[in-house]
Amino acid sequence: MPTRQEKLVSLTLTKIANQKQLRKVLTKKLDNYIHKSLVENDSENLESVQRKKYEFLSAMLHSAVRNMDKGYISKNVIKKLIEVLVENSFMDSAEGYDIAVKNFKEKYNAAPSSFIVLSPTQNCNIHCKGYYAT
């Protein structure tokens, strides 16, 4: 079950998508919140790793907002991205994650990838074993 902060992030992202006049202010507040959560308030992990995570999430956030402002991304697409990437992925409980990993290992006899691949073309010239685009 998502925590209060996770629900707040999801709600803020939804408002960014739906309320153009508040988009700039909410984006800045959310970006600051992500920085504080990942970099400033995390003493357990390496700061350089947490900083890279922040930079990645910040770039995704600002890119999505910029493309919404230009009309390249519809509200429905953003809503689905929030649902899939934020609510279903980043907010899943540790128990749910462990079950999903176990099921994946049983089905494919290998550990799942620990990162997300977004490939619009699904073309790759490296041909790694187990990669979906090979």
How many domains is the chain partitioned into structurally? 1
pLDDT for res 106: 93
Whether 132 is in a domain gets the answer no
Whether 112 is in a domain gets the answer no
Whether 29 is in a domain gets the answer yes
Whether 110 is in a domain gets the answer no
pLDDT for res 122: 64
Residue 45 confidence (pLDDT) above 90: no
Whether 38 is in a domain gets the answer yes
Residue whose structure tokens are 């991304």: 73
Average pLDDT in the chain: 78
- The better pLDDT of the pair 107, 38 is held by 107
Whether 27 is in a domain gets the answer yes
Residue 91 confidence (pLDDT) above 50: no
Write out the DSSP string of 43-87: -SS-HHHHHHHHHHHHHHHHHHHHHHHTTSS-HHHHHHHIIIIII
For 75-85, the pLDDT digits (tens) are 888 888 777 76
Whether 56 is in a domain gets the answer yes
Q: Which structural domain, as residue segments, surrounds residue 59?
A: 4-91
